[in-house]
Amino acid sequence: MGKQEVNKHTWKMALSEQKERKPEDILRDFRASFFSMNRLASFNWTFLDNELQSNKSSEFISELLKQTCLHPLCGKFPPSVRFRRIFLSELIKREAAGCDPLDELYDALAQVVGVEETPLCHKSYFLPSGDAVSLLENVAVISEGTTGLVTWEAALYLAEWALENPQVFTGRSVLELGSGVGLTGITVCRSCSPVRFVFSDCHATVLEKLRENVRLNGLGGGKSPSVTVDQLDWTTAPEEQIRRIRPDTVIAADVVYDPEVAGSLADLLLKILKCSAAAEILICSTIRNPETYGGFKLRLEAAGLGHQVLTGPVGAVFPYNRLAPVELIKVFRVQDA
């Protein structure tokens, strides 16, 4: 089975499993989707509708509220005001049609009605341990001229892959290129025991948010792993900077989207392999434009680099759109193959 088929297969399995899911699983799914601000259309409203139809009780909605708007995490790291308002409106619509009024639902709505919306929000992604990676992100997908202030599907895909392949990171020095707000790197630091992790990006606001998110998740400050957030531009990074980091593993998610910088990125990967011959390089991409992606692979080839497509994650940890085609490749020097 190819990479994309595996991802679609995982998703189909997840959908078929939905039918057999117990109420506590559904509550966990709602919690995960709510805190990561997943598309509301992807929530399992059918289960809720069936539940209300069969027992006419507001009990399940009350439990749902405890796992979402009334969860302690929502007090600390709340999803956007707008998202919470729309989510609660969906619940009220269903409650009004199917059971007795629930006071706490209207109290929760009162807290978000009339509240001014800000360009920032928190998103939280639950790890298999039950802990959450909480990030400060932008509400808009593109803002301040960068795509780096939100978490992209490829970052979640790569984080899931890392959770299933911790040996690629354990005891190693890891460099992440184009870290954005930090989901993949923070997941690796929290779950895969690297000795050192260097987050990097080129955009000033992205670096500022990244530093904040690293702090928010309890990383750095002399604890293990040793963590730094570096300014590293693929187009200008001096060899000396790479030599200083000397990574064992290099990761990057959703960095192949601009044909203009594809060549610089390929040259940088070659530079890394010249400094650290044994470095394992993993690039995870959402293929939005096959021409752009194919162009990057040609630039790799021109730089004397080969690639191998890796099998993606088998389990679904985070909620995200799994129909987007994502590919994970390992990059190596052809002469070393």
Enumerate binding residues for ligand SAM (CB under 6 A).
146-148, 151-152, 154-155, 178-180, 183, 201-203, 206, 233-235, 253-255, 261
Q: How far apart are CA 266 and CA 177, in angstroms?
A: 12
Give the dihedral sign, CA 210/268/152/251.
Answer: negative
In the complex with ligand SAM, the residue whose CB is nearer, 61 or 265, is 265
Q: At what angle do helices 81-98 and 45-55 cross, to 10 degrees?
A: 30
Supply the minimum distance, in Å, between the C-beta of residue 153 and ligand SAM: 8
Q: How far apart are CA 300 and CA 98, in angstroms?
A: 58
Supply the minimum distance, in Å, between the C-beta of residue 114 and ligand SAM: 32
In the complex with ligand SAM, the residue whose CB is nearer, 65 or 284, is 284
Supply the minimum distance, in Å, between the C-beta of residue 237 and ligand SAM: 8
Give the residue ranges of DSSP H helices in 146-287.
Answer: 153-164, 183-191, 204-216, 239-245, 259-275
Supply the minimum distance, in Å, between the C-beta of residue 154 and ligand SAM: 5
Question: By C-alpha distance, which of 130, 156, 106 is closest to 312?
Answer: 156
Answer whether 31's CB lies under 8 Å from 71's CB: yes
Tokens 């998703």 sit on residue:
11
Answer whether 280's CB lies under 8 Å from 270's CB: no
In the complex with ligand SAM, the residue whose CB is nearer, 78 or 180, is 180
Q: How far is CA 29 from CA 125, 163, 291, in A?
A: 11, 19, 36
In the complex with ligand SAM, the residue whose CB is nearer, 52 or 135, is 135
What stretch of H or E contains 333? strand 326-333
Answer whether 317's CB lies under 8 Å from 163's CB: yes
In the complex with ligand SAM, the residue whose CB is nearer, 178 or 225, is 178
- Bridge partner list, 319: none
Q: How far apart are CA 154 and CA 288, in angstroms?
A: 11
In the complex with ligand SAM, the residue whose CB is nearer, 276 or 285, is 285
Supply the minimum distance, in Å, between the C-beta of residue 180 and ligand SAM: 3
Supply the minimum distance, in Å, between the C-beta of residue 304 and ligand SAM: 21
Tokens 């509301």 sit on residue:
40
Supply the minimum distance, in Å, between the C-beta of residue 172 and ligand SAM: 19
In the complex with ligand SAM, the residue whose CB is nearer, 183 or 214, is 183
Q: How far is CA 216 from CA 191, 197, 206, 213, 317, in A?
A: 16, 16, 15, 5, 21
Supply the minimum distance, in Å, between the C-beta of residue 24 and ligand SAM: 30
Supply the minimum distance, in Å, between the C-beta of residue 254 and ligand SAM: 4
By beta carbon distance, the residue nearest ligand SAM is: 148
In the complex with ligand SAM, the residue whose CB is nearer, 27 or 251, is 251
Helices and strands of the chain, counted as H and E runs: 13, 9
In the complex with ligand SAM, the residue whose CB is nearer, 250 or 261, is 261
Tokens 């970052």 sit on residue:
155
